[in-house]
Amino acid sequence: MTAGHKAARHRLDAHAHLMTPERTASGIRWIRRVVPDYADLPEDVRVTELLGEFQAERVGALWNLFYPLRPGQSEEINRWQRALADAYPPGGAAPGEQAPAALPVIIPFASVHAADDDPGAVVERAFGALDLAGLKLHPYVQRLDPLDPRLARALAATEESGRPLVVHTGFSEFYGERSLVEAVFGLARRYPGLKVVAAHMLYPDLDLSDWPELLERYENLYLDATNVLSLTAPGTPPGDDMQALLDRWSHRIVFGSDHPMGMAYPISRLYRLPGSIAPHGEALEDISWRTAARLVEPRRLPGTMALDAVIAE
Ligand SMILES: [Zn+2]
């Protein structure tokens, strides 16, 4: 298949980590051990500077993911997410207007820990008073099992709200943990109305060529190709599988940078990937913004993006 397209109409980064100064610094120190490029980003980089980097790459909106490492931190993190989004209010340009000056719209995701006092109440508050856009869990770093009964009410609340759950999957060997293959399909079965977004697509714990059949079977399952596109260059065997998957299933696949903890820096190197891998223009639109835009309420998106997400059926 051929690739190499003009830029997509919009860019929605479906996997970003704007966090407190302490967590940003520890995250950057951690990623430098595997991605030396990040030596070029000071660990005391501020949120405003990171937003400037996204803005320079014409990112119109981003899903912001920030999870607690320990029980008892969720409420503070969820409130921080709301305050951050309020501090940088939606600045999308009006229809027909160029938007080079607009900062990306921050779409804040909640998180929770299985060992919080009342995980269900944490998530209900996050979707109620704080109006966060979805839920993020990182089973490896948070050391939790997404099927833990203590999370049942939190996940049922997410399902009921129509909001997506982004769950880290994949790279089990890197984390020195068991694969999450069973957990992901267990989640999709237990909560059939829950939109489960498998961050990193269980790669490489599950073969990419298995996905088409699984996406057919699990209609509530979505894939986040963040960090995977870096490893599936066109012309390689995984690249061929990725292109075949994108050819038919891009409406169920999102993509993001993982910045400031991504696979390459500066982020322009990551944003080049969809254009080099997408097998056709529709797949490029889907993974660059459209699939992610349709997973959140239109009111959370910049105006032109919301409009295009609705009309480009
Ligand atoms: Zn991440």
pLDDT value for 242: 98
CATH number, position 44: 3.20.20.140
CA 166 to ligand 1 center in whole angstroms: 10
CA 111 to ligand 1 center in whole angstroms: 13
CA 96 to ligand 1 center in whole angstroms: 33
CA 247 to ligand 1 center in whole angstroms: 25
| Mean pLDDT of the 1-16 span | 81
**Confidence band, pLDDT 50/70/90 cuts, at residue 94:** very low
In a domain, residue 251? The reply is: yes
Mean of per-residue pLDDT scores for the chain? 94
Name the residue range of residue 186's domain: 12-311
In a domain, residue 256? The reply is: yes
In a domain, residue 24? The reply is: yes
Residue 66 has pLDDT above 80, yes or no: yes
| pTM for this predicted structure | 0.94
Residues 247 and 283 sit within 8 Å (Cβ to Cβ): yes
Q: What is the pLDDT of residues 167-203, one digit of tens each?
A: 999 999 999 999 999 999 999 999 999 999 999 999 9
Q: Is the C-alpha dihedral spanning 53, 58, 60, 65 positive or negative?
A: negative
Count of domains forming the chain: 1
In a domain, residue 2? The reply is: no
In a domain, residue 6? The reply is: no
In a domain, residue 5? The reply is: no
CA 15 to ligand 1 center in whole angstroms: 6
Q: What is the pLDDT of residues 193-208, one digit of tens each?
A: 999 999 999 999 999 9
In a domain, residue 3? The reply is: no
